[in-house]
């Protein structure tokens, strides 16, 4: 547990989850975006995640609410230095070695990332310009992790791909909504306008359950339309993720201790590596 705690504080579980999600997409489209894609994806995700939490930790430095923020503030010099070094290395790799087609779409995604940070930090007190971070994270996470595989796919985007992508988006919504639900009181103390803050506890729980049911129904449709082909196997993996997240929703007493809910939600995305077993 202690090892995984530092693994989480360093943001390495988030990086691993992003790589698993991109691996899932690459297997779905039957492509390999190249080694530079995987390296730059890992570096970029770590930069965005750690940088965002470093900003949150600094903004709430007078009253630290999260252990992760305490860890980042305690080691802030090393963290800031590491962010700078990784940013330079990541930029050099992207500009000089990343596939040009991927780079073109990455520029558009970078603009969306800047918009997310503006909404989250600059306009956080404006009720018209600030929207829940979960919605931006869902779109940016999926666009970012699927960017390489989709850009290099020669067969294009098929209906079967679209159904799997829809289910994957549902799993991400459950993942982010689950953390928002468990962090409701913490977000309230920190002044964070999360999804659960806006919808409330009961509506958020209904949203998660409804999304889970929707995932199972779309997966069933996937099976009925395409039968037991390889795309149904991808849907089956996502159903497994959704089932675990639903279990966490209904077992708060089990998962609230030691932030087990957060670790479980992050680790669920590791199941994307199971796609490597699909031929």
Model pLDDT for residues 250-278, shown as the tens digit of each residue? 998 889 887 889 889 999 999 999 999 99
Can you spell out the DSSP letters for 112-177? HHHHHHIIIIISTT-TTT---HHHHHHHHHHHHHHHHHHHH-SS---HHHHHHHHHHHHHHHHHHH
Encode pLDDT of 107-147 as tens digits. 888 887 777 766 666 655 555 445 667 888 888 899 999 99
pLDDT for residue 75: 95
Closest CA to 175 of 217, 212, 200, 202: 212
Residue 235 neighbours by CB under 8 Å, 6+ apart: 163, 164, 167, 218, 219, 222, 223
CA 271 vs. chain centroid, Å, equals: 13
Mark the ranges of the chain whose per-residue pLDDT is less than 50. Answer: 128-129
pLDDT for residue 127: 53
pLDDT for residue 125: 58
pLDDT for residue 119: 66
pLDDT for residue 196: 87
pLDDT for residue 5: 81
Sequence ranges of the domains in the chain:
2-277
């Amino acid at each position: 547990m202690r090892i995984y705690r530092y693994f989480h504080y360093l943001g390495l579980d988030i990086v691993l989850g992003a790589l698993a999600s991109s691996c899932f997409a690459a297997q779905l489209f039957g492509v390999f975006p190249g080694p530079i894609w995987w390296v730059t994806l890992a570096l970029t995700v770590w930069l965005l995640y750690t940088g965002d939490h470093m900003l949150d930790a600094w903004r709430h430095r007078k009253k630290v609410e999260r252990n992760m923020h305490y860890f980042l503030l305690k080691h802030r010099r090393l963290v800031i230095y590491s962010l700078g070094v990784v940013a330079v290395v990541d930029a050099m790799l992207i500009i000089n070695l990343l596939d040009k087609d991927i780079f073109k779409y990455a520029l558009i995604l970078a603009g969306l990332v800047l918009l997310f940070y503006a909404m989250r930090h600059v306009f956080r007190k404006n009720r018209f310009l600030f929207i829940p971070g979960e919605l931006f994270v869902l779109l940016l996470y999926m666009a970012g992790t699927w960017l390489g595989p989709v850009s290099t796919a020669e067969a294009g985007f098929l209906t079967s791909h679209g159904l799997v992508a829809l289910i994957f988006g549902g799993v991400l919504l459950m993942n982010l909504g689950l953390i928002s639900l468990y962090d409701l009181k913490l977000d309230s103390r920190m002044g964070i306008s999360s999804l659960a803050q806006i919808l409330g506890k009961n509506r958020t729980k209904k949203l998660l359950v409804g999304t889970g049911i929707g995932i199972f129904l779309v997966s069933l449709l996937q099976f009925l339309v395409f039968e037991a082909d390889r795309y149904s196997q991808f849907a089956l993996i996502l159903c497994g993720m959704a089932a675990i997240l639903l279990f966490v929703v209904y077992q708060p007493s089990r998962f609230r201790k030691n932030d087990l809910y957060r670790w479980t939600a992050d680790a669920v995305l590791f199941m994307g590596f199971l796609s490597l077993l699909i031929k």
